[in-house]
A and B are shown apart, each in its own frame.
Chain A
Amino acid sequence: MFEYALSVMIFLPILAGLLLLLCPVSKGAARAIGFIISVVILFIGIEIFLGFSGKSGMEYVEHHSWIPSLGVNYALGIDGISLLVLVAATFLFPMVFSVFKTKTKGFYGNLLLAQGAMIGAIAATDLILFYVFWEIMLLPIFFMIGIYGGEKRLPATLKLTIYTIAGSLLMLAALIYVGTSYHEQFGKWSFNIADLSALSLGGGFAVLAFLMFMVAFAIKIPLFPFHTWLPDGYTEAPTSATFVLSAIMAKIGVYGVIRFVIPVFEIEFTRFAVLFSLLGVAGMMYCGLAAIAQKDMKRMLAFSSASHMGIIALGVFCLNVQALAGSLFQIIAHATSTGVLFLFVGLMEERLENRDIDSLGGIAYRAPVFATFFAIAMLASVGLPGTSGFIGEFLIILGAIKFSSFIGFLAGTTLVIGVCYMLWMFQRVFFEKSKESTDSFADLTTGEILTFVPVILLIIGMGIFPQSFLEKIEPTAQQHIAQISAVSQSQVADTTVQNPGHNNHKN
């Protein structure tokens, strides 16, 4: 039955989403359908997670020919890299459907479409197929922000859409370049990532193509300085769209780098690693400092999310197993902490119609359960030991210090900024004097508590028993790093022999 599990996970939400968009369904029914579908996907996701053996290869593979003349296949598979991203994309969706009741059916339809497309992008092992899903997943977000967003939604939508489409079209050019290079070197067409990693690219075009890929993913992550669409986009988007963007879509950017850029562009990647890891640290600092200054809670979380994406990206660029495993672990930790914080802010907004930090206060006295949950997610986000965030950040910092002690030092100290803005915000919103605006704040209902309890448990569980997750990631991470260091070392040695000054200059 699980032979076609991935296809089902992709196309069930897409078909259901299209049906919701095309058929006249009532709001409640649409939400119920969405919830049921997402729960079904969740169960398949759990099954895949438990059934995943972690032997550093692709599992649940599907392979059908799509465009034979160009070697494009409908190829799906899951390995240690994509597993946790997949988990993030499946575990968190039922919450969105169960928490927010006020949206129209079009919104729920788009949400399902987004889920299907994202799972498609995560599971695709063919570059063209990946690109197709990668583009499709933007469309529902475009409509969700544009139709259901806040006051300044139009500029925000346009900025986000043009920015990301520009990035992905550049990536299209780059991936076709990779495909044609493969055709030149091996005499046949293939866009399969396993084949493409055999490619040896060099010269100016390879660097250009590498940068095009990186720009596309950097925009999605978003990596400093490609983050400017993020504050507006995250703030204006309806909360569930923000949640999707921050908890899952941003991770697909990181995932794309690990899955597609590292195996194909080993040499360019090692060459530019220092630069990109510095960008990651710069993003952490800049967005963290910006978060301190924000008055709007959602905007503050937007910057905080960007800041944390910086550390995840840093883990990818450090080129060692600890950092890579840490990044993969942090992907789901970040989704469950920062992503869930967005949902909490959405709940507050629904109840109070207000997100202004200064006008809030004393919520903890009115809603102790809500405050507790919020605190746990927030502490996980700042990386308190015993929560999921600690494990990920610890591994990344460890890897960063191994990579370069300077960058490790910078990253480690920057984490303090995160603690600053989070705790200060928490103090102002949840403690201090209770204000009139928050007097009527109702605590979580039983339904909402039941929705959030699994995530809260997951946060703590991942913090205390990280091994059950790490053991699935590490074999693939090791293999990945082994591959890249083997190729790049031999290559760097070559260039050094031929042109001694060259390597130093590049670094």
Chain B
Amino acid sequence: MHDFLSLLPLIIITAGAVLLMLLSTFEKTNVETASYISMGFYGVAFFVQLVIGCGPEVTIFDQTFNGMLVANNFSMAAGLVILGCGFFTSVSGHSYFKVNQFCTLEFYSIMMFASCGMILLTLAHELISAFIAIEIMSLAIYILVGYDRQNVKASEAILKYLMLGAFAGAFFTMGTALIFGAAGSTKFMAIAAALNMTGEISPLLLGGSFFILVALLFKVAAFPFHAWVIDVYDGAAAPVTGFMATALKTAAFALFANFLAMNNVMHSGWVTFLFYLAILTMFGGNLVAIGQDNIKRMLAASGIVHSGYLLIALVALNAEQFSGSVIAYYLAAYAVGTLGIFAALSYLSGEGERRADFADFKGLAKVHPYSAAAITVFLLSMAGIPPTAGFMGKFYIITSAFNEGQVTLAVLGVVSSILSMWYYLRLIINMYFHEATDTFEIQGTPLATAGTFALVFCVFAIALYPVVI
């Protein structure tokens, strides 16, 4: 009973995806209905996940499919973030596709398939099933990125992402093979036991785990595998970018954390490597972000910086008593902020996303004061200014870093957030301190607007009642 329950949200989402796929054969169902259906399924799955995950036990079930999947509080929290992202992406898609009409029913179906892969990824404690989950997720995301076939930028984005993603997938399989050769199993439990026997990482295992880390670093867009992210985020439609930036990152980081936290030997073997990567990711991302004039590209680059902060959390995690609460909280905080901005962009950027640059949003506060205020809240949250969720997330990460003795990393994380103030403030300054030149007519349905304000509420709710799992 229990193992079924822990998989129930996954099953619900899959059922929704299949249902939408079937419905798309009927001419009568239109895109709006599809977005309502997907919202409904995401909502139900979210609620079920919440009910199951809210129990007092830390590990809800750890023997599903002979230990291949483990449901614990961390996976539940990550799953909640992913389901929430799916919900709000459907909401903003509802408005966005009213204006940019290249959407068909399959869009929502594919998005839900992607979510299936992501949720499976949060549960996976075995390399083959992790690989399958990654591929389910990635294939769906490739399609979503290039959904607008008329758009050259989208085609460029999908080509880049597909090629590089295929490489990353190959690295992952290679790593799996090497690890299997070294440890005789692909299960994390068994690998951990093998590591404990020797007390150090054998060369074969080292190589295998290196390849797996490369694949994961690619997925989370960490230095030096971050170059794709700018063009891909820019080319994809705003709701898709929002979904990729949040849900995909959540799923990838969940597996990343589970893999590293498998045992102490594995974690301590990679700490130094990740230490330097975290620093380079934060500062590299900042340098890229400062130079951008386009908001989506800036957000893509700032996503790299946030990956850097999450890498700090990975360096500072305690493999003995891993709870993942810091990582899950930061992912949730980052997700609400980013989703919020993309939801706002969905209804503000207009047909063909013609408002995309910082300069295009000059004077927004004079025309739409509430929308401008909402975007400001999201930006401040991403910048880590209290009393927003982003501040709490940063606070937890820096606290965990200090607590594990990573003082350098904590201080550099703070320095990096000083740098990132520049590009977050830049948009606020454009919105507030200039006269409006544009009329900023809002097209599409009011749903995205409602979603934006719901997310503003979430930013404060998560911050002021921090449920550290």
Instruction: Indicate the member of B413, B414, B415, B429 with the most A CB atoms within 10 Å.
Output: B414
Given the known interface contacts A69-B468, A173-B411, the answer about A180 and B402 at a Cβ–Cβ threshold of 8 Å is yes
Q: CB distance B398 to A139 under 8 Å?
A: no
Given the known interface contacts A169-B417, A173-B410, A173-B411, the answer about A157 and B429 at a Cβ–Cβ threshold of 8 Å is yes
Bound Cα distance A204, B394 (Å) = 24
Which residues does chain B contribute within 8 Å of A153, judged by CB atoms?
433
Q: CB distance A128 to B429 under 8 Å?
A: no
Bound Cα distance A69, B329 (Å) = 14
- For A134, the closest partner residue in chain B by CB is B386
Contact of B432 among A147, A158, A170 (CB under 8 A): A147
Q: CB distance A205 to B417 under 8 Å?
A: no
Q: CB distance B433 to A136 under 8 Å?
A: no
Question: How far, in Å, is B113 (CB) from chain A's closest CB?
Answer: 37
Which residues does chain B contribute within 8 Å of A139, judged by CB atoms?
380, 385
**Taking the complex as formed, is B422 at the interface, i.e. its CB lies under 8 A from any CB of chain A?**
yes
Q: CB distance A166 to B429 under 8 Å?
A: no
Q: CB distance B385 to A135 under 8 Å?
A: yes
Bound Cα distance A173, B407 (Å) = 9
Which residues does chain A contribute within 8 Å of B422, judged by CB atoms?
162
Question: How far, in Å, is B129 (CB) from chain A's closest CB?
Answer: 32
Contact of B399 among A158, A166, A176 (CB under 8 A): A176
**Which residues of chain B from 387 to 428 have a CB within 8 Å of any chain A CB?**
387, 391, 394-396, 398-399, 402-403, 407, 410-411, 413-415, 417-418, 421-422, 425
Which residues does chain B contribute within 8 Å of A170, judged by CB atoms?
414, 418
Q: CB distance A162 to B425 under 8 Å?
A: yes
Q: CB distance B425 to A143 under 8 Å?
A: no
**Taking the complex as formed, is B184 at the interface, i.e. its CB lies under 8 A from any CB of chain A?**
no
Which residues does chain B contribute within 8 Å of A166, judged by CB atoms?
418, 421
Which residues does chain A contribute within 8 Å of B413, judged by CB atoms?
173
B245-287 contact mask (Cβ, 8 Å, vs A): 1 or 0? 0000000000000000000000000000000000000000000
Secondary structure of the A contact surface, majority rule: helix
Which residues does chain B contribute within 8 Å of A162, judged by CB atoms?
418, 421-422, 425
A156-169 contact mask (Cβ, 8 Å, vs B): 1 or 0? 01100110011001
Q: CB distance B386 to A180 under 8 Å?
A: no
**Taking the complex as formed, is B291 at the interface, i.e. its CB lies under 8 A from any CB of chain A?**
no
Q: CB distance A180 to B421 under 8 Å?
A: no
Bound Cα distance A267, B413 (Å) = 27
Contact of B433 among A135, A147, A177 (CB under 8 A): A147
Contact of A157 among B370, B384, B418, B433 (CB under 8 A): B433
Which residues does chain B contribute within 8 Å of A67, judged by CB atoms?
466, 468
**Taking the complex as formed, is A279 at the interface, i.e. its CB lies under 8 A from any CB of chain B?**
no
Bound Cα distance A57, B413 (Å) = 37
**Taking the complex as formed, is A85 at the interface, i.e. its CB lies under 8 A from any CB of chain B?**
no
Q: CB distance A136 to B410 under 8 Å?
A: no
A50-75 contact mask (Cβ, 8 Å, vs B): 1 or 0? 00000000000000000101100000
Bound Cα distance A21, B372 (Å) = 12
**Which residues of chain A from 138 to 162 have a CB within 8 Å of any chain B CB?**
139, 143, 146-147, 153-154, 157-158, 161-162
Bound Cα distance A309, B208 (Å) = 61
Bound Cα distance A146, B407 (Å) = 36
Q: CB distance A146 to B399 under 8 Å?
A: no
Question: How far, in Å, is A25 (CB) from chain B's closest CB?
Answer: 13
Which residues does chain B contribute within 8 Å of A252, judged by CB atoms?
none
Given the known interface contacts A135-B385, A162-B422, A166-B418, the answer about A176 and B398 at a Cβ–Cβ threshold of 8 Å is yes
Q: CB distance A173 to B398 under 8 Å?
A: yes
- For B405, the closest partner residue in chain A by CB is A180
- For B418, the closest partner residue in chain A by CB is A166
Which residues does chain B contribute within 8 Å of A21, judged by CB atoms?
373
Which residues does chain A contribute within 8 Å of B433, judged by CB atoms?
146-147, 153-154, 157
Which residues does chain B contribute within 8 Å of A132, judged by CB atoms?
386-387, 391
Which residues does chain B contribute within 8 Å of A169, judged by CB atoms?
384, 414-415, 417-418
Question: How far, in Å, is A183 (CB) from chain B's closest CB?
Answer: 7
Q: CB distance B432 to A176 under 8 Å?
A: no
Which residues does chain A contribute within 8 Å of B396, judged by CB atoms?
70
- For B410, the closest partner residue in chain A by CB is A173
- For B426, the closest partner residue in chain A by CB is A158
Contact of A158 among B370, B398, B425 (CB under 8 A): B425
**Taking the complex as formed, is A172 at the interface, i.e. its CB lies under 8 A from any CB of chain B?**
yes
Which residues does chain A contribute within 8 Å of B386, judged by CB atoms?
131-132, 135-136
Bound Cα distance A169, B398 (Å) = 11
Question: How far, in Å, is A193 (CB) from chain B's closest CB?
Answer: 17
Bound Cα distance A70, B373 (Å) = 31
Question: How far, in Å, is A192 (CB) from chain B's closest CB?
Answer: 16
- For A21, the closest partner residue in chain B by CB is B373
Which residues does chain A contribute within 8 Å of B407, judged by CB atoms?
177, 205
Q: CB distance B387 to A173 under 8 Å?
A: no
Contact of A176 among B384, B391, B410, B417 (CB under 8 A): B410
Bound Cα distance A132, B395 (Å) = 11
- For B380, the closest partner residue in chain A by CB is A139
Which residues does chain A contribute within 8 Å of B398, judged by CB atoms?
172-173, 176
Question: How far, in Å, is A156 (CB) from chain B's closest CB?
Answer: 11
**Taking the complex as formed, is A361 at the interface, i.e. its CB lies under 8 A from any CB of chain B?**
no
**Taking the complex as formed, is A280 at the interface, i.e. its CB lies under 8 A from any CB of chain B?**
no
Bound Cα distance A154, B387 (Å) = 25
Which residues does chain A contribute within 8 Å of B415, judged by CB atoms?
169
Question: How far, in Å, is A106 (CB) from chain B's closest CB?
Answer: 8
A264-291 contact mask (Cβ, 8 Å, vs B): 1 or 0? 0000000000000000000000000000
Bound Cα distance A126, B305 (Å) = 30
Question: How far, in Å, is B408 (CB) from chain A's closest CB?
Answer: 10
Q: CB distance B395 to A128 under 8 Å?
A: yes
Which residues does chain A contribute within 8 Å of B370, judged by CB atoms?
22
Which residues does chain B contribute within 8 Å of A136, judged by CB atoms?
386-387
- For B414, the closest partner residue in chain A by CB is A173
Q: CB distance B418 to A146 under 8 Å?
A: no
**Taking the complex as formed, is A233 at the interface, i.e. its CB lies under 8 A from any CB of chain B?**
no
Which residues does chain B contribute within 8 Å of A157, judged by CB atoms?
429, 433
**Taking the complex as formed, is A179 at the interface, i.e. its CB lies under 8 A from any CB of chain B?**
yes
Bound Cα distance A173, B387 (Å) = 17
Q: CB distance A180 to B403 under 8 Å?
A: yes
Q: CB distance A70 to B414 under 8 Å?
A: no
- For A69, the closest partner residue in chain B by CB is B468
Q: CB distance B432 to A165 under 8 Å?
A: no
Bound Cα distance A233, B242 (Å) = 37
Interface residues in chain A, defined as those with a beta carbon under 8 Å from any beta carbon in chain B:
21-22, 67, 69-70, 128, 131-132, 135-136, 139, 143, 146-147, 153-154, 157-158, 161-162, 165-166, 169-170, 172-173, 176-177, 179-180, 183, 205
* Known A172-B414, A176-B399; 16 more pairs at CB < 8 Å: A69-B468, A70-B399, A132-B386, A132-B387, A135-B385, A143-B432, A146-B432, A146-B433, A154-B433, A166-B418, A166-B421, A169-B384, A173-B413, A177-B402, A177-B410, A180-B399
Of the A-B pairs whose beta carbons lie under 8 Å apart in the complex, a sample of 16, sorted by A's number, is A70-B399, A132-B387, A135-B386, A135-B391, A136-B386, A136-B387, A147-B432, A147-B433, A153-B433, A154-B429, A154-B433, A162-B418, A169-B384, A170-B414, A173-B411, A183-B403
In order of increasing CB-CB distance, the 6 nearest A-B pairs are A132-B386, A180-B402, A173-B414, A146-B433, A166-B418, A135-B386
